[in-house]
């Protein structure tokens, strides 16, 4: 079982025990603003979304690791962060995260991302990790940059958000880049 820890956070692989809190997180309009997943209709809908993520963890050659982020001190549910693996030949991965608004602007996103980047580079021996965020998602862009990711480009009108098509900033960090 993969378990990542920092000074303030515990990251454990997502399980059905996290269902209620994941559903609550996905149901918050502010969290959904830059998310293409949408707000789930009910808890069964949320369960149908996360069950494949949970099943993926049980494979020997897992292609995605989805972690629940919790505070060490109080075990509060902070949010989710995931690492999706690409083609083995390219040693590449992609990260995404969602945090509960109660934990925004407190450094938790950056701290969790640094843990996942260390796992990707040190344990999985990946070469490149990518991430993207809507151009108006200033908070996520700040998290990516504070974790050492470099803005490499901008995709035009690629995200179908409720407000219409959004451009997306593309970020990446290499195993040879300076580490946070």
Average pLDDT, the chain: 96
Has residue 179 been placed in a domain? no
Residue 18 lies inside a defined structural domain of this protein: yes
Q: With 90 as the cut, is the pLDDT of residue 180 above it?
A: no
Is residue 109 one of the residues assigned to a domain? yes
Parent domain of 116: 3-127
Confidence check: pLDDT of 179 > 80: no
pLDDT at 22: 98
- pLDDT over threshold 90, residue 111: yes
Per-residue pLDDT tens over the stretch 49-88:
999 999 999 998 999 999 999 999 999 999 999 999 999 9
For residue 117, being part of any structural domain is answered with yes
Total domains in the chain come to 1
For the stretch 113-160, pLDDT in tens is 999 999 999 999 999 999 999 999 999 999 999 999 999 999 999 999
Given a cut of 90, is residue 38 above it in pLDDT? no
24: pLDDT confidence band, cut at 50, 70 and 90?
very high
Q: For residue 9, is it within any domain?
A: yes
Give a yes or no: residue 21 inside a domain: yes
Q: Which residues, other chains included, contact 27 with Cβ-Cβ below 8 Å and sequence gap of 6+?
A: 39, 40
Res. 104: pLDDT tops 80: yes
| Exposure b/e, 41-73, CB count within 10 A at least 16 = b | eeeeebeeebeebbebbeeeebebbbbbbbeee
Place of tokens 């995931």: 82
In a domain, 83, yes or no: yes
First-to-last CA distance in the chain?
A: 26
In whole angstroms, what is the distance from residue 89 CA to residue 112 CA? 26
Cα–Cα distance between 93 and 160 in angstroms, integer? 23
Element (H, E) at 101: none
């Amino acid at each position: 079982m993969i378990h990542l820890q920092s000074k303030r956070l515990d990251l454990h692989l997502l399980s059905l025990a996290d269902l209620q809190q994941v559903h609550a997180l996905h149901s918050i309009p502010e969290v959904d603003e830059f998310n293409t997943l949408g707000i789930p209709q009910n808890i069964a809908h949320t369960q149908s979304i996360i069950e494949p993520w949970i099943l993926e963890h049980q494979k020997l050659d897992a292609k995605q690791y989805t972690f629940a982020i919790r505070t060490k001190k109080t075990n509060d549910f902070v949010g989710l962060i995931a690492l999706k693996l690409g083609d083995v030949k390219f040693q590449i991965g992609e990260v995404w995260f969602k945090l509960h608004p109660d934990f925004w602007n407190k450094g938790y996103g950056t701290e969790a991302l640094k843990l996942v980047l260390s796992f990707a580079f040190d344990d999985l021996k990946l070469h490149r990790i990518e991430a993207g965020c809507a151009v108006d998602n200033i908070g996520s862009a700040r998290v990516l940059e504070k974790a050492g990711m470099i803005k490499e480009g901008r995709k035009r009108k690629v995200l179908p958000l409720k407000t219409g098509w959004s451009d997306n900033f593309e970020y990446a960090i290499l195993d040879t880049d300076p580490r946070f």
